[in-house]
Amino acid sequence: MLTLFFISQSIEIYSSQEESNYEGKEETNDYLWLWKKGKKYTISIRILQPEGAIVEIQKENNPNPIYKADIPTTYTKTKVSSRDEGFYRIIVSKENYSWSKKFEIKSGYEYTLYVKSLSTKEEKEEYNDYYIIRKPSSETVLKIVEPKGANAEIYKENSTVPIHKSDIPTSKSLNESGYYKVIVTNESSKWEGKVEVKKNYENILYVKNLAPISKPTLKPISEESFKSLIQNLKSEISEFTRIEILKTAVSKNYFLVRHLEEILDQFTSELNKEEVVKIVYPKIIDKENIHQIFSKFTSSLSKENIREWIENYDSGNVEKEGWK
């Protein structure tokens, strides 16, 4: 590991002269962090060293920087609410070297940071469908930044229960290094891979290609089974009982619109017909033909009720009762 050191004399002088003005101090071999009371409802973060380097400030679990500037610089936010408090990550980089650390930031405080050294050139592994960049960090973090808007799930290796699930971009601090399974999905495509997470690195994953999700071919109820269903419906006098029989059949089969039309012929009550449509529609394969069923209704109100219900169902505003 290569380390780029900076002259620390200014830190020692500043610390000895000004430390009494600060309420707290945190110092390691690679940074000095000072804090004191500041203006009410204001956050102030001064980054003073190394001069000429670039600093990025990120809110926790959001890899997109909220501030980026050359050092020395001061990040100030006024009218701070409780949502603005929490952990912030500060990333300092210069040429091929970088430094990163997460700090807790509170409203009404001024913070000052001196970074003494930057370490290690970032690593990059690239494959046909993804690449991963690793940057030195005081924590072990897996970030997923592409493709934006897709959903990401992170699993421990050989586990079936996700330890993190969120829309991309997203970030997860991990207690252990090693291999993790990542699944990225959108409405029509999916990517799944096993990535190595290295300790004390920000492991930043970019997924380049998602594969189309193949949808299973749905087969409608067999003609023999459908004829048997119609016969069972006809044999019952009570339309309530017919609806219960229909529910059982729908739970096990898919249907075409022509099937639904024939099922509707077994009912006389307009309200019961509306109920039949609501039961069968989720299992209809050729929904583009659903307009054909409206001839089975005599009431304009029923037709309008069904149209509205179908629109709401297709928009996801109707509970789908577990249908797949």
Q: How far is the C-alpha of 26 from the C-alpha of 19, rounded, in Å?
A: 11
Topology alike, domains 3-119 and 123-212: yes
Share of the chain above pLDDT 70, in %: 90
What's the number of CA atoms in the CB half-sphere (13 Å) around residue 87? 12
Residues 6+ away with beta carbon under 8 Å from 28: none
From edge to edge, which strands make up the β-sheet containing 141-146?
123-126, 130-136, 201-207, 141-146, 170-173
Mean pLDDT for 270-278 is: 96
* Cis peptide, bond prior to residue 147, ω within 30 of zero: yes
Domain 123-212 has CATH 2.60.40: yes
Q: How confident is the model at residue 319 (pLDDT cuts 50, 70, 90)?
A: low
Mean pLDDT for 31-50 is: 93
CATH assignment of 3-119?
2.60.40
Mean pLDDT for 205-218 is: 86
- What is the residue extent of each domain of the chain? 3-119, 123-212, 223-314
Secondary structure string (H, E, C) spanning 42-78: CEEEEEEECCCCEEEEEECCCCCCCEEEECCEEEEEC
Q: What is the pLDDT of residues 166-209, one digit of tens each?
A: 999 999 999 888 999 999 999 889 999 999 998 878 999 999 98
pTM of the complete model = 0.41
Q: What angle do CA 68, 151, 85 make, to 5 degrees?
A: 40
Q: What is the pLDDT of residues 118-171, one digit of tens each?
A: 876 678 889 999 999 988 777 899 999 999 999 999 999 888 899 999 999 999
Report the range of poorest mean pLDDT among 9-23, 109-123, 168-182, 306-320.
9-23
| pLDDT at residue 158 in the model | 84
